[in-house]
Structure 1
């Protein structure tokens, strides 16, 4: 089960802090997502486990306040908000602590950091985010459509080559890609809100 299919019964069971099975299920379902989320938000790799632990604690403290808002993915939006708030607090605390340090070593380190990420870093981030979102919606599409999408968009193979291989028309590949990309964009927007 992916986190996009969180059962309401699991969320209700999480409200009982003593329900270890529910929390284990939740951690199995969401830990990797929370780790990727923290990394994407700029948490240094050495702190990701601690930040994820803090996110889980924040969820435990505030799960009683979660109420469905009647829209799709309301729990995921709430979860992303809780996670984002924990990351912001962590990053703010880290900046304050870092501002007290100084010396030649720190100056050398700062001068070696690029002012903005380079195009390759941005492209790798965007690619990773798209691949993650694609995996979240994969089960919503038939295998042929998914294979055509993956081969042409993610692997970069030509539409004509993939159409011949899968014995489908290039037009059906373009239609499938369009539907899948629209759903992936929607998934990404839900996470970023």
Structure 2
């Protein structure tokens, strides 16, 4: 695995989803930067689309529901509290998506004849078959890749390579320091700088 190959990403076992308070705090800002908001929406879009697919939302309605989801997040994030007993950010986001999907189906004319199995799927979100579980896992992997791509695009190339070599390729810090003619402390700082950005987007290695 080479650090200059943009297609190489940490494995699923290396990169896992978390919800960091820094991301929640940023979203709660009255004037969150457009750049920060875009990072979050781009990262979590695959999950929202996967949940819609699991509930048989037609392609023609996905953009509208997606927009409604983000409007709801923006308007209600101030009420979200990061508490394991009350649920995670991802669970909260899933609930918003489910509600917007339900709103969409309720808005359809009765003569369109929405299949009962579709209505049952929306009403029973915890009932998932193997395909639904796989789609959600795939969407989470795509979200992970997006997070890495966003961070790399805004990170100095040397900083990224030092992070990649020490964290993904497990190259000893001393060896990386010699390669880039920096101190071991400099390598550790570069690594932590990228890890901090990953945590801000809800992931960690």
Q: What is the TM-score when the length of structure 2 is the normalising length?
A: 0.48
Structure 1, unaligned stretches of length 5 or more?
102-109, 118-124, 138-193
Instruction: Flag as ranges the 4+ runs of structure 1 deviating above 3 A.
Output: 113-117, 134-137
Corresponding residue for residue 129 of structure 1: 133
* Matching of residue 11 in structure 1 with residue 24 in structure 2: yes
Between the aligned partners of 1:9 and 1:53, the Cα distance in structure 2 is: 24
8 A contact 2:47–2:139 mirrored in 1: no
Which has the larger helix fraction?
1
8 A contact 1:4–1:76 mirrored in 2: no
1:26 to 40, 43, 51: 40
Matched length: 117
8 A contact 1:17–1:60 mirrored in 2: no
Between the aligned partners of 2:115 and 2:49, the Cα distance in structure 1 is: 24
Structure 2, unaligned stretches of length 5 or more?
1-9, 119-128, 142-205
8 A contact 1:35–1:49 mirrored in 2: no
Q: Which has the higher contact order (CA 8 A, sep 6+)?
A: 2
Matched residue of 1:6: which SS? Answer: coil
Once the two structures are TM-superposed, the CA of residue 36 in structure 1 deviates from its matched residue by: 1.3
Between the aligned partners of 1:116 and 1:135, the Cα distance in structure 2 is: 23
Once the two structures are TM-superposed, the CA of residue 7 in structure 1 deviates from its matched residue by: 2.6
CA RMSD, Structure 1 to Structure 2 (Å): 3.3
